[in-house]
């Protein structure tokens, strides 16, 4: 082993006590295992303020004489609870709440609630796909849409159920017909079972637009206690009653596994005023928006580049050079600005590096150039792009005012009339429900309905998102959005070097590459 490391000495009895909880007893790098999350976090919190090694702290302050016999979920818990009672609740040292992690399943959540859950950046999310799972089954006699108690118990409950059932009925009826049409018209990119599965995947891809926004999904979350605390506060302040109910469900389950981290949530002077702040701010801004711009504005499907850094490419080069230089950023900018186009291209090539695939992304110098896009797209594309956690995304409430689009393949299959009939009934239900339940009314609209949103991102994240979301496997609606973002960066912002660095941007037609890629994928899996 290269290098020399001090090997701390432990007695045989100490080694026996440590062995169940560390991945090795001697090396300078080791992992903790078999300890409660709260104990791990408290141990690291003490680590930052003690001259002792982590193993020694574990022995001296958390294990105690009888730790080997303790139940796994209780090892070090009393000491951890005492520590967090002082550090987190009394002193407000939030950093210690970043040292644990919990996997949480949130099931049967609507699409708007899924977006509210996934708003936080510092967490990992996995959402059930509407692209590979057919929503044709009934559970307890009901299709898979949110059973909002307030709405269903109101005089409009029957109207809501009729509209939702009609959308799912149309989805179930049109799906096999669309699949048969695709099977008859698509080229033979794969044979036998593989081709059938590829056609099925494409049919689900296209038909997802008919699913209502109230379709329920499953969301998995892995996050730190700090991120979960923020999640509960956000959901408590949310205007959607479903979100408020889930806030309490999430809190109740987290209290079972990390109660020491959540002592502020239910305190009126901490969590209570925090929720009031979030709720009051949102309500005030809603009133101001209604006063300043009361009329709904129609916009076509599309992407507009509304703001960008005019000198963004200069800033990328200066920031890329900065860690390797011995001068200020101002000096580097002054050196970069007068360079010839050829020399600038050489420097950009050096900053970008020899990228062999889209996962080879250049350094943080690319984060010094930003773009803001306003997008109007179908809700399905929005929900996919919103999950990119490095973006700043703000969106408006879904209404029927921006309309919806029927996929060209559905039109070609002669199925558009059934799609439109079901959607017309959903929009009528929306208008009936919106007066008394304005937030829940959006459940009745579909993933094909358009929504307006802002996306702000830096050039490094733009590279990641655009290359990922224009791959042949991508859904056609968000492929178009990201292809247009790439064009605007190149042609409107004039950032030809940034756009050129995105070497793995897909530019093919949208459906046949998707089908071919899916056929190849399922063929390889067979």
Distance from C-alpha of 156 to C-alpha of 310, rounded to nearest angstrom:
52
pLDDT score recorded for residue 174? 97
pLDDT score recorded for residue 4? 59
Q: Is 314 exposed, middle or buried (0-12, 13-18, 19+ CB in 10 A)?
A: buried
Name, in order, each residue with C-beta under 8 angstroms of 4's C-beta and a sequence gap of 6 or more: none
For 255-365, list the strands marked E by DSSP.
302-308
Q: How far is CA 204 from CA 48, 126, 482, in A?
A: 51, 19, 21
Q: How far is CA 86 from CA 76, 78, 225, 282, in A?
A: 16, 13, 16, 33
Q: What is the pLDDT of residues 489-512, one digit of tens each?
A: 999 999 999 999 999 999 865 455
Contact status, residue 171 vs residue 130, Cβ threshold 8 Å: no
Largest CA distance in the chain: 79
Between strands 138-139 and 302-308, the pairing is unpaired
Question: Packing angle between helix 416-434 and helix 157-185, nearest 10 degrees?
Answer: 160
Between strands 217-223 and 123-127, the pairing is antiparallel
Q: Which structural domains are found in the chain, ordered by start? A: 12-98 (no CATH), 102-292 (3.30.1360), 302-306+366-525 (3.30.1360.170), 310-365 (no CATH)
pLDDT score recorded for residue 451? 97
Residues of the chain falling short of pLDDT 70: 1-5, 65-94, 96, 189-192, 508-526
DSSP for 4-28, please give it: --------HHHHHHHGGGBS-SSSS
Q: What is the pLDDT of residues 3-58, one digit of tens each?
A: 556 778 999 999 999 999 999 999 888 888 888 877 887 787 777 778 888 899 89
């Amino acid at each position: 082993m290269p290098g020399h490391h001090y090997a701390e000495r432990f007695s045989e009895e100490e080694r026996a006590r440590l062995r169940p909880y560390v991945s090795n007893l001697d090396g300078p790098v080791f992992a903790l295992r078999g300890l409660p999350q709260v104990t791990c976090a408290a141990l690291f919190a003490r680590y930052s303020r003690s001259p002792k090694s982590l193993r020694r702290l574990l022995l001296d302050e958390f294990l105690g004489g009888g730790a080997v016999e303790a139940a796994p979920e209780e090892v070090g818990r009393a000491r951890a609870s005492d520590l967090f009672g002082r550090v987190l609740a009394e002193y407000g040292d939030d950093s210690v709440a970043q040292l644990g992690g919990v996997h949480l399943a949130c099931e049967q959540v609507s699409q708007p609630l899924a977006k509210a859950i996934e708003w936080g950046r510092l967490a990992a999310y996995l959402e059930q796909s509407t692209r590979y799972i057919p929503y044709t089954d009934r559970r307890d006699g009901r299709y898979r849409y949110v059973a909002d108690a307030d709405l269903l118990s109101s005089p409009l409950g029957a109207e809501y159920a009729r509209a939702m059932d009609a959308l799912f009925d149309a989805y179930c009826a049109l799906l096999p017909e669309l699949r048969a049409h695709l099977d008859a018209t698509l080229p033979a990119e794969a044979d036998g079972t593989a081709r059938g599965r590829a056609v099925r995947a494409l049919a689900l891809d296209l038909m997802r637009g008919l699913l209502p926004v109230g379709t329920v999904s499953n969301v998995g979350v892995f996050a730190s206690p700090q991120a979960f605390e923020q999640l509960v506060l956000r959901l408590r302040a949310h205007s959607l009653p479903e979100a408020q109910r889930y806030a309490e469900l999430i809190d109740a389950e987290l209290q079972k596994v990390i109660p020491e981290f959540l002592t502020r949530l239910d305190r009126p002077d901490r969590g209570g005023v925090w929720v009031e702040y979030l709720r009051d701010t949102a309500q005030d801004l809603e009133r101001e928006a209604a006063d300043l711009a009361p009329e709904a504005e129609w916009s076509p499907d599309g992407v507009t580049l509304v703001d960008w850094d005019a000198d963004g490419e200069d800033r990328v080069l200066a920031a890329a050079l900065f860690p390797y230089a011995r001068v200020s950023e101002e000096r580097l900018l002054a050196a970069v600005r007068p360079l010839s186009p050829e020399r600038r291209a050489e420097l950009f090539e050096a900053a970008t590096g020899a990228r062999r695939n889209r996962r080879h992304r250049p350094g943080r110098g690319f984060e010094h150039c930003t773009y803001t896009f306003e997008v109007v797209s179908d809700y399905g594309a929005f929900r996919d792009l919103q999950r990119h956690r490095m973006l700043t995304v703000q969106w408006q409430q879904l209404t029927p005012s921006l309309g919806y689009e029927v996929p060209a393949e559905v039109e070609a299959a002669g199925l558009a009339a059934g799609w439109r009939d079901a959607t017309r009934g959903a929009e009528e239900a929306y208008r009936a429900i919106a007066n008394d339940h304005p937030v829940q009314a959006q459940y009745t609209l579909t993933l094909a309905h358009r929504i307006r949103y802002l996306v702000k991102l830096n050039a490094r994240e733009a590279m990641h998102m655009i290359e990922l979301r224009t791959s042949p496997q991508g859904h056609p609606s968000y492929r178009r959005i990201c292809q247009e973002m790439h064009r605007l960066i190149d042609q409107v912002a004039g950032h030809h070097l940034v756009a050129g660095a995105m070497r793995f941007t897909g530019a093919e037609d949208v459906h046949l590459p998707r089908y071919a890629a899916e056929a190849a994928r399922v063929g390889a899996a067979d």
